Structure 1
Amino acid sequence: MADFPTPRDVINRQLEVYNAHDIDGYCALFAEDATIGDYVTGQMICNGLAEIRSAYIKRFADNLKLHCIVHQRLEGPTHAIDKETVYGLPTGDLHIMAIYEVREGLIRSLRFIRWNDAEDQTRIDADFLNDRNQPAPQVREDI
């Protein structure tokens, strides 16, 4: 069985090359049949590596100050979920929940939940991250 980087390792590298606007490094982290989409609307943004390359060549060229900061991360054996802010866009800061599926060391899918104002961020934080209608998680003190 081959050893592959963890989702954390892959997503850390993805952030590094994204912020460097390194299109080859960025694309090297995606599977040939990877997809990028909007989680809320179901819209497919990019279908396959060729579309990802084309979209991000344009994004990097059109937004020279583009960079992303990760505020929080949850991870599992095949997924990582980041709470991020993207800066340097002409429309202003963009807040994102990015859901990455990583298998065999490559990003297989990336889904976004996006918002760009404080009111929406507060709503999403409250509804998605801290759902008070759910029972409180049990805290294990033995670990």
Structure 2
Amino acid sequence: MTFDTSPAAVVQRQLDAYNARDIDALLATYAEDAQQFEHPGKPAARGHTEIRTRMAVRFQEPNLHARLIQRAVMGNIVIDHEHVTRTFPGEGTGSVRMVAIYEVVDGKIQSASVQVSDKQLDAV
């Protein structure tokens, strides 16, 4: 099967895999040595093993879902604005707004940097 390797298509496959909680499909969109960061530049994961470990925990959340609000593409850079529902450890369910900046090189995500804001917990 041949996939569209344009930056927007790669990031969309990553988002679809995230929402499907499909770790293998998600990792297929990342370069083997990809890096994930929490803005500004705080390392979160490096390489498939660390990304798998990080995402496996997140994928256990029963309400996990990212809804794309807006996407901008500038060459090989894709910037997504998303609304993410999830379960926060020790706090319960809620949502955040997130901006993710992806650098796509040779049809794979090489780096992803996220900024999270506006955390809202659901009423108990």
| TM-score bin, normalised by smaller chain | 0.7 to 0.9
Where does residue 116 of structure 1 map in the other structure? 118
For residues 32-111 of structure 1, what are the structure 2 equivalents within 5 Å?
A: 32-40=32-40, 42-61=41-60, 63-90=61-88, 91=91, 92-111=94-113
Q: Measure, in 2, the Cα distance between the counterparts of 1:78 and 1:97.
A: 16
Percent identity (aligned)? 35
2:99–2:116 contact (8 Å) kept in structure 1: yes
Where does residue 10 of structure 1 map in the other structure? 10
TM-score by length of 1: 0.74
Structure 1 residues 66 and 117: CA distance shift in structure 2, 3 A: closer
Decide which structure has the larger Cα Rg and report it: 1
Where does residue 141 of structure 1 map in the other structure? none
1:6–1:77 contact (8 Å) kept in structure 2: no
Q: Are positions 1:28 and 2:28 aligned together?
A: yes
Letter matched to residue 93 of structure 1 = S
The alpha carbon displacement at 1:43 in A equals 1.1
Letter matched to residue 78 of structure 1 = N
TM-score by length of 2: 0.85
Where does residue 133 of structure 1 map in the other structure? none
- Unaligned runs of 5+ residues in structure 2 are none
Q: CA RMSD in A?
A: 1.7
The alpha carbon displacement at 1:116 in A equals 2.3
Which structure's residues are more often strand, by fraction?
Answer: 2
* CA displacement 1:59-104 (0-9 Å, x = unmatched): 102x021010010111022110000111122352111110000011
1:68–1:87 contact (8 Å) kept in structure 2: yes
* CA displacement 1:28-61 (0-9 Å, x = unmatched): 1100110000123x21000111100111111102
Where relative contact order (Cα < 8 A, 6+ residues apart) is larger, the structure is 2
* CA displacement 1:93-118 (0-9 Å, x = unmatched): 11111000001110000001111248
- Unaligned runs of 5+ residues in structure 1 are 119-143
Q: Measure, in 1, the Cα distance between the counterparts of 2:35 and 2:68.
A: 21
Q: Measure, in 2, the Cα distance between the counterparts of 1:39 and 1:55.
A: 16
Q: Measure, in 1, the Cα distance between the counterparts of 2:25 and 2:48.
A: 13
| Equivalent residues, number | 114
